[in-house]
Amino acid sequence: MESKIRIGIVGYGNLGKGAVAAIRQTTDLELVAIFTRREPESLNLDDSSIQVAHISDAADYKDKIDVMLLCGGSAHDLPEQTPHFASLFNTVDSFDTHAKIPEFYKAVNEVAVKHNTTAIISVGWDPGLFSINRVMADAILPNGENYTFWGKGLSQGHSDAVRRVEGVKNGVQYTIPADAAIEKVRSGQNPELTTAEKHRRVCYIVPDEGADQAALENEIKTMPNYFADYDTEVNFITEEELKRDHSKAPHGGFVIRGGNTGDGNKQIFEFSLKLDSNPEFTASVLVAYARAAHRLSQEKQYGAKTVYDVAPGYISPRSAEELRKDFL
Amino acid sequence: MESKIRIGIVGYGNLGKGAVAAIRQTTDLELVAIFTRREPESLNLDDSSIQVAHISDAADYKDKIDVMLLCGGSAHDLPEQTPHFASLFNTVDSFDTHAKIPEFYKAVNEVAVKHNTTAIISVGWDPGLFSINRVMADAILPNGENYTFWGKGLSQGHSDAVRRVEGVKNGVQYTIPADAAIEKVRSGQNPELTTAEKHRRVCYIVPDEGADQAALENEIKTMPNYFADYDTEVNFITEEELKRDHSKAPHGGFVIRGGNTGDGNKQIFEFSLKLDSNPEFTASVLVAYARAAHRLSQEKQYGAKTVYDVAPGYISPRSAEELRKDFL
């Protein structure tokens, strides 16, 4: 039997927890250790066989780990962590600050090339699977238009914004793709659509006792940047309802390209995800790409890579023969 | 300016015509010649700048063509043509006899390895894009189930079957995914479904004058293998209506995987195509993969390849920098 690919995880927030769960579902990957900035003893894992170490001790694991999954955030953690860990390990991260990807790529690539490691950056679903579909659709149907819709999804930034409103005790905001816009795109009309036309916003608010609900609703709906340009719906619920019905982190979305071939034949290309748990799915994508990081590294394909550089077969646990026979 | 990738096309049926149209939409590919078994003069191209040559003269073009698109059929043409042309050129074909792919791969691989060419086999949408999505979904969500639905699509085999019925003058058959089955799959229930439960069949029939329509309908609906197991609908129309409304070759379908992560969170992964013209879309996929065949060959990655071996960036006309900056 072939030996398993040895995985480490840096960071034990929602994404790191999702990675632990995703590795458990595989038969070809083995979780060696989780690295944290907290006191390792404080992590309270339900599985005592999982080793927990302080992040500053990671270098000691250089020969015990094939791929390190970097499960920190894009704002503060990954810009430091990916270059650091890519000097020691093959890595996979989910860096998702779109505007900063070119400079992030450059910084990581320099380190990875120098240290003969493979670092796959910006993995997940957007950036990630959505990116793949945008590029493939564009390559296959050059005469066309790409559309990306997000949701139904819990938006952290917009939820924070409603919770900052005076008189709001608690609340969440969902971004929801506008059905009319999706139908227009699916029909191949290639319409011009603003982000506001593509999405609507639905809030579930727990008001402070005695708050003026009509005034709250108006204040939210007219909030500049966040809601004013959107079709916004405000619902008032109790704290119990919020806890019961809105404590998951669902997300998803659509990438649709409408293209024309020949004498104007319409061709619609669509990819979509409907996710009960955004962090668990993102972690599952990272875990699958760990196989690719390991394999590319064995082929001496060092440096920073993106999902565009990874052949689909490389993320599968199955052999090329099995894929050709049973999946092609 | 970089020089264009020089393309040849073998076979000028619907797929070959689609390839001509697809190449026209690109700026990085150049059509050098079409090769046919017919008299080259008989082809009647609307563009006199396109060279047409007899298939037996293809070897003369060895240094003038970077990638040969093989647009013949899977039953009789490709099993002969791909091994032959792979001894001379990099090739892309759409071999789609699923059960015979392993032996086809082996035969093509031997030739391509021996002659230092790159032959990407079984390209299109199924096999092709659907295959990629089946494998990626399976790799990312190991605890789940894949479903493939075909249609709405014109089925050649079933159209032939209804036309063979005595009393039928002309007709077509569409395979249509069953909405109820799709909804069940999209809800993440991972139901067990037979092909008959996943699809229904709709026929448009031009009856012979004076034919007994009720008897025809009954004969079609009870035809073993083709219709008896399916929810089948039979509509009677005129020859004019057939010509007006049913002369295109639409197709498409869905690949859906319902998977579970963590403590039973449902994750739905879906890819779909809605195509006005099946051959034009398939040809567009072949044309995009010509870029990959050329690039893999330049990297000396010789032998038979499938879509599983091709990184998404390799089919794009855009640079890696542009993809990272604008599409990731």
Query: What rounded mean pLDDT belongs to chain A?
Result: 95
Select the more confidently predicted residue: A299 or B43.
A299
Task: Match 């893999």 to its residue by tokens.
Answer: B296
Average model confidence (pLDDT) across chain B: 95
Q: Give pLDDT, residue B44.
A: 81
Task: Say what the pLDDT of residue B156 is.
Answer: 83
Question: For domain A129-277, is the CATH number 3.40.309.10?
Answer: no
Cβ distance A275 to B268 less than 8 Å, yes or no, reads yes
Strands B67-70 and B5-10: parallel
Token output for B19: 């390839």
pLDDT of residue B299: 97
pLDDT at position A155: 86
Of B131, B269, B324, the CB nearest to A328: B131
DSSP type of residue A59: G
pLDDT computed for residue B46 by the predictor: 79
Considering only CB atoms, B261 lies closest to which of A21, A138, A328, namely: A21
Identical fold at B5-124+279-327 and B129-277? no
A chain contacts of residue B133, beta-carbon cutoff 8 Å: 271
pLDDT at B45: 83
Which chain A residue shows the shortest CA-CA distance from B320? A308
Who among B135, B267, B276 is closest to A313 (CB)?
Answer: B135
How close A98 gets to chain B, by Cα (Å)?
7
Find the residue in B nearest to A264 (Cα).
Answer: B276
Residue B316: pLDDT band (50, 70, 90) is: very high
pLDDT at B1 over 60: no
**Full DSSP string of B12-61:** -SHHHHHHHHHHHT-SSEEEEEEEESS-GGGG--S-TTSEEEEGGGGGGG
Write the pLDDT tens digit of every residue in A226-246. Answer: 999 999 999 999 999 999 999
Chain A residues in contact with B301 by the CB 8 A cut-off are none
Taking 50 as the pLDDT cut, the residues of chain A under it are: none
Domain boundaries in chain A? 5-124+279-327, 129-277
Class of domain A5-124+279-327 (CATH, top level): alpha beta
Convert the pLDDT of each residue in A275-301 to its tens digit.
999 999 999 999 999 999 999 999 999
Say whether A267 and B288 touch across the interface (CB within 8 A). Answer: no
Give the whole-angstrom CA distance, residue A292 versus residue A20.
18
Among A194, A204, A190, A273, CA closest to A233: A204
ipTM of the complex: 0.94
Residue B103 CA to residue B79 CA, distance in Å, equals: 10
For A188, the closest chain B residue by CA position comes to B274
Is A284's CB within 8 Å of B141's CB? yes
Q: Tell me the pLDDT tens digit for each residue of B92-146.
A: 999 999 899 999 999 999 999 999 999 999 999 999 999 999 999 999 999 999 9
How many Å lie between the alpha carbon of A272 and the closest alpha carbon of chain B? 5
Q: Is B38 annotated as a binding residue?
A: yes
Least Cα separation, residue B59 to chain A (angstroms): 29
pLDDT at A225: 87
Q: C-alpha B100: how far from its chain's center?
A: 16
Token output for B22: 């697809």
**Separation of alpha carbons A326 and A11, rounded Å:** 37
What is the C-alpha to C-alpha distance for residues B99 and B228, in angstroms, rounded to an integer? 25
Mutation for testing the A interface, residue in B261, B272, B287, B301 having most A CBs under 10 Å:
B261
A73 annotated as a binding-site residue:
yes
Contact residues for B236 (Cβ-Cβ < 8 A; gap 6+): B205, B206, B207, B213
How far is B259 from chain A, CA to nearest CA, in Å? 10
